[in-house]
Amino acid sequence: MKAFNQERSTLVLALLAGLSINGACSALFSPAVPFSIFPLISLILTVWGLHQRYLRCAMAAGLPGIAASCFVLGVLIYSAVVRVQYPDIGSNFLPSVLSVALLFWIGFRLRARYWP
């Protein structure tokens, strides 16, 4: 059960890292999104947390791919949310469809991993 909780928290940190890196890039480089320091703080804390987790224990086989997909899911979700708030940026159809497809893929992989 301890390994399951560690893997789950790694996936949540990867999702938060994706959200915060896209938030930081949007806050710094997009003129439509107002500047905020909080995505940068969140990015620093999540990367630090992932680094500490990496130093403490090794990842199980198959987990890095799921963690990378959670990171991409975070990027896509933030992109879709920002495009809903600021429609001048563009349509949110593609990020929304890709995030739902990626969410189903992650769910399928986790289900096959923990409940065979």
pLDDT bin (cut points 50, 70, 90) of residue 1 is: low
**More confident call, 4 vs 80:** 80
Q: Quote the pLDDT of residue 50.
A: 92
Computed over every residue of the chain, the mean pLDDT equals 91
Q: What is the pTM of this model?
A: 0.91
Q: How many domains does the chain have?
A: 1
Write the pLDDT tens digit of every residue in 13-34: 999 999 999 999 999 998 888 8
- Closest by alpha carbon to 42, among 66, 64, 25? 25
Cβ of 36: how many Cβ atoms within 10 Å? Answer: 14
Q: Which domain holds residue 107?
A: 2-114
Alpha carbon distance 84, 53 (integer Å): 34
Q: Quote the pLDDT of residue 6.
A: 83
